A and B are shown apart, each in its own frame.
Chain A
């Protein structure tokens, strides 16, 4: 387990102390903290790890609570799994269309959905008891030690699993998805599948939390589906730390503890809680758990940026990348017009052309960031032009970018990532632009390494001398068309190329 002993002790202590020493009222508070912790932990998956503002978590909590209240008399303890399903199944049903939306529409859609659930809770009186809610139902688990143990065992298991999952590569992939979704796609990460899993698992945890809260209070009212629960969930996660494994637990402990500390101030604890959240957003975006880590000196060492990779082992996979008659239009601009070219394994092809001639667009359609209008792209006999970016990456095409998408990133790291996908073919967009002289000098050897390892490379750059020295062939684009192709010497001698790109028109060849 990767959770530090400090946090592990803090995580396990509350339920043990509560069971051993606290009166029923204290136990009740510890149970409530555990319930909020479960809801928050689920929320961390969607909001913390993927950065999507989901405003339906409160409604899913409410669905779990109602499901538990309605099924507990029949199912007994099995009302808990029923409640998990009652939240997870609707989450899975709406996930498809919802998760395609951009940030602000996603927030709106989840808010509208939550409002619908709330309306249903208030007005479907025969089913939900209307505004008064349900009370006096047989609870799924007896209140007290059994419920406390159940809630905290689930929470501890969840936190440990979360810490273990997001510590390593999975955490890095989540960060990529959050901060640079396009880059993530070109590295073969299926963002849609990730978001779906996070949304459904997060919803399931909310359902479980809702069911436990129904068991704890013995009452379920429309408030369980309301906006205030949602705001509580959001603020506790932000306050505790939206990605820290202990963030939800710390936030939940405060949400339960603050009202007791500020009991003299009546309703003011919510106010204090909101003020604290705002302060955390402004001054400690990593949350209180992260802040505590910082004060403990447990800060992680900053990663050392890698140099260009020197070992690029030969790989199995497709032998030839074929681009045939590819066209792409943006509004009135014909960015690509019937482009055809081949790249073989162990070959470096340079793509040159004036600004706006379609070089980057060509790379974008090859690796699936843009869809072609016409033409085909294949790896051997397999057509790939209709595949999404992450599938193209998995089929064996890596990509480096002109502009860096991540804070603190370097061109070398970008190239290293593309190579590390193990792709048979690499599309490199201006690897020599904006790098140090040292890195630029290392580039030809790196490219030669790729060739020797049998990788195929399609490289775009403005440094014509560099390309002439390192490439086997050059292809020149102008206004979306291939105007010349052949050995570097042939292409550089070409009349049209000299006129349109090299700016040597009128100078004797």
Chain B
């Protein structure tokens, strides 16, 4: 479910920027790191910590939009790719220096422990992640589909020139999308940071998973990204349980290459030349 939040934020940024945000994975890691630092220094309960992390990474998302995305809007998408890769390296290196290389654990969302439902053992933390993830996905869906702001965000994503022509301040909505994308990344980082560890070098891996989810689920499609992310999560869990982690990752990459080789336009296709 945390993958789904990563992928959801990734696809929002992708649609708004018209290009892949290679720094997205590092925003996730940054979320985990911020949770660790604030959690350690203030001892705030997770319920308060979570919105704080979301807010902080949302602000970083705004900075990313201002620095690496909006100024390059009129250049080929490769310019944004490179700018966000540089941004990713900046975040990763800053974290390496700040954390002195030692991986940390983020605080848990709810206390540990487990309980039984109909004979199944359920950890409280995984359950909380699933519930929180579902709530956030539903909230984003509501925002995009049921509010004027969301409609405008989708209009900017679909065709920024047309959106500008009908009077939508495109820059502002790109920034808003990146803020939302950053907030989701921050929450995902918090959740993943407790389950696994927070280490500065994980960013590329998170980004790659989200990238794959979006490519498999249908480029630029929000539900597609969610389905793709959940699919990857299940696939990895089952293959890893049977053959080990390395094989799970290898199989995933081979699947992606096979899909791209057989269907260069993506699993579900996309309108030709829509965006990059």
Contacts and interface: CB of A to CB of B under 8 A. Distances in A.
A116 B204 contact: no
Contacts of A97: 260-261, 264
Given A51-B78, A101-B264, A112 B93 contact: no
A227 interface: yes
Interface stretch (A263-271, A290-298, A460-468): A263-271
Contacts of A53: 78, 81-82
Interface of A is mostly: helix
Interface of B is mostly: helix
A234 B85 contact: yes
Contacts of B85: 231, 234-235
A101 B219 contact: no
A51 B78 CA distance: 7
Q: Which of A100, A104, A231, A234 has the most CB of B within 10 A?
A: A104
A281 B246 contact: no
Contacts of A103: 77-78, 276
Contacts, number: 118
B56 interface: no
A270 B93 contact: yes
Interface in A223-278: 227, 231, 234-235, 238, 266-268, 270-271, 273-275, 277-278
B34 interface: no
B89 interface: yes
B97 A266 contact: yes
B86 interface: yes
A274 B93 CA distance: 9
B211 A108 contact: yes
A116 B67 CA distance: 32
Given A51-B78, A109-B257, A115 B208 contact: yes
A105 B266 contact: yes
Nearest to B89: A274
Contact of A278 (B20, B86, B261): B86
B220 to A, nearest CB: 10
Contacts of B246: 119, 122-123
Interface of A: 47, 51-53, 97-98, 100-105, 107-109, 111-113, 115-116, 119-120, 122-123, 227, 231, 234-235, 238, 266-268, 270-271, 273-275, 277-278, 281-282, 285
13 contacts: A53-B78, A105-B260, A108-B256, A109-B256, A123-B246, A227-B204, A231-B88, A235-B82, A271-B93, A274-B89, A277-B89, A281-B82, A282-B72
